[in-house]
Chains A and B, each alone.
Chain A
Amino acid sequence: MTEKIFEMRHIDKLYGSLLANDDVSIHLNQGEILCLVGENGAGKSTIMKILYGLEPPTDGEIYVKGEKVHFHTPSDAMAKGIGMVQQHFMLFENMTVAENIVFKNEIRNGLFMDRKRTIETVKALSEKYGLKIDPEAKIEDCPVGLRQRVEILKILYQSAEIIIFDEPSAVLTPLEVESLLDTIKSLAASGKSIVLITHKLQEVMAVADRIYVMRAGQVVAERLRSETDTNELAYLMVGHHPALRDISAPKPGEVLLESKKLSLHYEGRDILKDIDLHVNAGEVVGIAGVSGNGQTELELCLTGLQKPTGGQVFLMGKDVTNASVKEHREGGLAYISEDRYLWGSAGEGSLAENVLMAKENRAEFNRHGFLNQAAINNYTKELIRRFNVKAGDTDQKIRELSGGNAQKLITAREIMMDTPVLICCEPTRGIDIGAMEFIHDQILEKREQGCGVLLVSSELSEIMTLSDRIYVLFEGKIAGEFKRGSIDEKELGMVMLGGKRE
């Protein structure tokens, strides 16, 4: 059982001047579940991409079953029995499950594909590993969890021995996660060897045999599951103990933002249906939900970017249902979009230009239509300094900043709008823990100042930590409203999936 099925020795990987992997040595034993944990950007995906032939290593050696290998493409890796389930699925939407699974290794009948035998084979495969699917369903009709299952079967069909999962739970609902973890365990039991990349420690403790912790491109620790716990792993990942927040009791004031029977009907479907919500002064209100349940449309409707088809929105007591974005902003709303590149910034624009957005009418920057460039530059510098953004000069392009620093600058811009209401959507998606803590501090600071914050996030822990009140959004409707402390993460997860609270 302790045969090393692969081993990577002293791997370095250089992207430009960034050392993504620094002398990484790891191995995987036969039939083992190995977890690679670490923050975003710790280098865990990189090392597995190297193993899977997606990236060449800058230096180092790779052995599979004791034999030295050089992979140039994923097909090379596949030929040696290594398969990878990537975060972004590589499936043909308009083809069936079975067709996707046998793609490139079709079962032929002379020149043509033998559909009957294909379906039988896929069915047998699915039964063998207990991965239930309908071989004849179209991929476009499958939810994310099923698509992932198809990816796994695709790899199994190509008789992979080693299966790498790259953040597989990121796209799944809590229930789907549980079923995935069961799958992983049964795959290992049937003799496959597994590498699981994740930063969710509960998953690690549920399935891992052995764990590597990575930080800043290096392996900083190796642990057996039996000899560690989530506290130690979190400490190893971050390098310090995450700060525990002491949040004062809320002192809610008058209603600042309110929606009444807000609805959005689109192409015969109710995207949003009768949303009643309100945000008071001095509180953080969370919108929880599995993404795709109407959050995006809700934020667009509340900010004036999308006109609702029914109901009303009130901002500071004024009806703004059909008002322009400008009227919303002038009426006291700042808004951090869920997608910092799609909506929240102009990548090719300079830092100063990105900071100026929605402030170009202010007297300090604008005299009779002419912009005061010096004042804008100084203001940008001040924001960069106060919000600790790692950036060069004010005419640097914002796309050159890392995701976390770009998000910090956008957060800075919106916080410094100094508005009574802040709508903040996925403010910490894809950024590291340091920047995340900083942004959380800013949100709580806003609350202390007596502003109302609406926080939309698919990250449950973020919602649980920051919100005084939580609305759960499910299929475009409010499925429940909870005060801080009146519900735990598990129950909230149930409500998010449309279940009732027990």
Chain B
Amino acid sequence: MNKFKKFGSKFLEALGQPFVAILISLGIGAIIIGLSGKDILASYGVMLKGAFGDGYYLSATLQRSTALIMGGLAVCIAWRSGYEAMGGEGQMIFGALVSALISYYMPGPGVLKILVGLAGASLVGAVYSVLSGWLWEKFNVTFIISTLMLNYIANYIASYLTTYIVKDPQSRDINSIQTGKLIEEARFGKVGGLFQSEGLKNTPLGLYFKDFNVHWGFFFSLICAVLVYILLKKTKFGYQSKMNGLNSRFALYGGINAHRMLYLVMILSGIAAGLGGAFEVYGSKYRYIDQMIFSTGYAWSGMVGALLANFDPFGTVLACILLAGLNTGGSAMQRSAGIPVETVNMLEGIIMLLMSVKLLHLIVIRHKVRREDRKKTEELIKNGKEAEA
């Protein structure tokens, strides 16, 4: 009983903030819908239906959530270890571009194209992520600055390449800035036709899943979440990285190699983001299209998801699916209720803002601790001076 109670309170504690954030943003959304003279309940009903209403919409939501989940997992790995890296976007862009190029230009069977493409995406994600770690360690460039700038650099490099160097040779449209389309064999397959056997076909379950059709990428992202969960919660590495995040001096004191920890964490986080970009290519777009990661805000939504879940991998999956649903549901709301999709963008903005309060709180606390550490060190040195005087 006691154990149950404890679990319950922990659950509430973990979910309290995200729940409140979503509730408040939906409340503000309701006011705006009301002010524009629309029926609030009906509008939200349309939104819910457009996100999870049937197999078709659910598929759209889950497919969108794939990249969010991978970006969110990248944030979980890095932030839990105390590195506030926001470079998921840049890593995702390169991951997507590199996998699209490898699988388009490399000869060989489709499976091989995909496997090498995934490896390439992991590698480039890891390298790009390590770059910001290196800048931090060597030159003391804060992660927030370096990763944000690196995101822009990645996006414009990718733009340049797709515009001038690796532009789709088949495309006649001068305005389409994209790489060549992958052949059928070099794409992720789809999972569909669930519960469609004769017996189940006409049950509610069968009817719901009638148009369900989701690419493998989503399921791969779930597998990644399980792997990250095991890595963070069950292994020595997970323990050491958490301690490093809570108090890096304590980690040093215990004999944890900070240098090794930094690069390991950046590599793993970069791999997750890079794969996220590749999944988007193999599952949805089948090529790299200019701005496909940058303008969709996948990495940022993923970060909001990870923050909502307090860096818990399974929680991140859930939060990312919800955030993806907000987006697909929002498009539906625009189509049938005539409420501009900007309203929904605003809702996500409000959630992000509310979660950012926590983000800010987190960063402020960490910086405060660091400031205090520095002050303490300075004091130690100054005391030494006094003793000398």
A residues within 8 Å of B by Cβ?
140, 143-144, 266-267, 269, 271, 290-294, 296-297, 303, 305, 324-326, 328-330, 335, 337, 339, 342-349, 353, 356-358, 360-361, 366, 369-371, 373, 474-476
Contact = CB atoms under 8 A, between A and B. Distances in A.
Contacts of A357: 243, 250, 253-254
Given A291-B383, A294-B384, A325 B252 contact: yes
A377 to B, nearest CB: 13
Contact of A358 (B246, B255, B376, B386): B255
B255 A143 contact: no
13 contacts: A269-B388, A325-B254, A326-B255, A326-B257, A328-B255, A344-B250, A345-B250, A349-B242, A349-B243, A360-B236, A360-B239, A370-B236, A373-B234
B385 to A, nearest CB: 8
B335 interface: no
B242 A360 contact: no
Contacts of B385: 269
- Most chain A CB atoms below 10 A, which of B235, B239, B240, B257: B239
Contact of A346 (B235, B243, B387): B243
B384 A343 contact: no
Nearest to B250: A346
Contact of B243 (A353, A361, A475): A353
B190 interface: no
A292 B236 contact: no
A267 B247 CA distance: 27
Contacts of B242: 349, 353
B389 interface: yes
Nearest to B231: A369
Contacts of B257: 324, 326
Given A324-B255, A326-B255, A371-B239, A290 B387 contact: yes
Contact of B235 (A269, A326, A330, A369): A369
B249 interface: yes
The 4 closest A-B pairs by CB, nearest first: A292-B383, A326-B255, A346-B246, A357-B254
Contacts of B254: 325, 329, 357-358
Contacts of B386: 143-144, 292
A345 B247 contact: yes
Contacts of B235: 369-371
A370 B254 CA distance: 18
B105 interface: no
Contact of A475 (B238, B381, B388): B388
B255 A366 contact: no
B253 A335 contact: yes
A326 B260 CA distance: 13
Nearest to B365: A348
Contact of A342 (B237, B376, B382, B383): B376
B250 A296 contact: no
